[in-house]
Structure 1
Amino acid sequence: MSPVNSAFFINGTVTSILRPDFFYVNGFAGIPNAKYYYIFFCFVYALTLVGNTFVMFVIYTDQCLHSPKYVAVFNLALSDICGSTAVIPQMIDTFLFKSHLIPFEACLTNMFFVFWFLHMQSFTITLLSYDRFVAICLPLRYNEIVTNKSMLVITAILWMLAGAVILIAVGFLTTLSFCDSNVIESYFCDHGPVVRLACNDNTPSIMMNWTCPVLILWFPVLFIMGTYICITRALFKIAASERLKAMKTCTSHLILVSVFYLPLCFSFALATIIHQNARILNMLLANALPPMLNPIIYSLKTEEFRESIKKLYRRKKMHITASNK
Structure 2
Amino acid sequence: MSRANQSTVFEFLLLGLSRQPQQQQIIFVLFLSMYLATVLGNLLIILAISTDSRLHSPMYFFLSNLSFVDLCFSSTIIPNMLTNHILRRQAISVPGCLTQMYFFMAFIAIDNFLLAVMAYDRFVAICHPLHYTTKMTHQLCALMVTGSWVIANVNALLHTLLMARLSFCADNKIPHFFCDMTPLLKLSCSDTHINDLMILTAGGLVITVPLVCILISYICITTAVLRIPSTKGKWKAFSTCGSHLAVVSLFYGTIFAVYFTPSSTHSAEKDIAAAVMYTVVTPMLNPFIYSLRNKDMKGAITKLIYIFFISFQQRMGSKCHKGTS
TM-score interval for Structure 1 and Structure 2 normalised by the shorter chain: 0.7 to 0.9
Provide the residue aligned with 2:246 in structure 1. 255
Please give the secondary structure, in 2, of the residue aligned with 1:196: helix
Amino acid paired to 2:258: S
Q: Which runs of 4+ in 1 moved over 4 A?
A: 11-15, 29-32, 310-324
Distance 2:276 2:139 in 1: 35
**Structure 2 length as normaliser, TM-score?**
0.86
Provide the residue aligned with 1:307 in structure 2. 299
**Contact 2:127-2:220 within 8 A present in 1 as well:** yes
Distance 2:311 2:282 in 1: 35
Provide the residue aligned with 1:3 in structure 2. none
Q: Percent identity?
A: 30
Provide the residue aligned with 1:106 in structure 2. 96
Distance 2:149 2:52 in 1: 25
**Contact 1:112-1:166 within 8 A present in 2 as well:** yes
Distance 1:101 1:235 in 2: 54
Amino acid paired to 2:49: I
Provide the residue aligned with 2:11 in structure 1. 22
Please give the secondary structure, in 1, of the residue aligned with 2:12: strand
Distance 1:175 1:318 in 2: 56
**Contact 1:71-1:148 within 8 A present in 2 as well:** no
Amino acid paired to 1:290: T
Range that drifts further, 47-56 or 186-195: 186-195
Range that drifts further, 124-133 or 311-320: 311-320
Provide the residue aligned with 1:5 in structure 2. none
Distance 1:215 1:99 in 2: 37
Distance 1:321 1:92 in 2: 33
Structure 1 gaps of 5+ residues are 1-10
Question: Cα distance 1:256–1:13, how it changes in 2: closer, same or farther (>3 A)?
Answer: closer
Q: 49, 59, 69: which one pairs with 2:39?
A: 49
**Contact 1:35-1:96 within 8 A present in 2 as well:** no
**Structure 1 length as normaliser, TM-score?**
0.86
Trace 1:218-229 onto structure 2 (pairs within 5 A). Answer: 218-229=208-219
Question: Cα distance 1:300–1:64, how it changes in 2: closer, same or farther (>3 A)?
Answer: same
CA RMSD of aligned residues (A): 2.9
Distance 1:100 1:310 in 2: 41
**Contact 1:84-1:291 within 8 A present in 2 as well:** yes
Please give the secondary structure, in 2, of the residue aligned with 1:33: helix
**Aligned residue pair count:** 312
Trace 1:23-42 onto structure 2 (pairs within 5 A). Answer: 23-29=12-18, 33-42=23-32
Structure 2 gaps of 5+ residues are 318-325
Q: CA deviation at 1:321?
A: 11
Cα deviations by residue, 1:181-227 (Å, 9 ceiling, x for unpaired): 22223211111221222222322222233246524543333321221
**Contact 2:44-2:301 within 8 A present in 1 as well:** no
Question: Cα distance 1:272–1:147, how it changes in 2: closer, same or farther (>3 A)?
Answer: farther
Distance 2:307 2:76 in 1: 35
- 1:294 equivalenced with 2:286 (yes/no): yes
Please give the secondary structure, in 2, of the residue aligned with 1:23: strand
Question: Cα distance 1:20–1:13, how it changes in 2: closer, same or farther (>3 A)?
Answer: closer
**Contact 1:217-1:265 within 8 A present in 2 as well:** no
- 1:74 equivalenced with 2:64 (yes/no): yes
**Contact 1:28-1:95 within 8 A present in 2 as well:** no
Q: 122, 134, 137: which one pairs with 1:144?
A: 134
Cα deviations by residue, 1:102-147 (Å, 9 ceiling, x for unpaired): 1111111111111111111121112111111111112222111112
**Contact 1:271-1:279 within 8 A present in 2 as well:** no
Amino acid paired to 1:167: L
Distance 2:308 2:169 in 1: 62
Q: CA deviation at 1:313?
A: 6.0
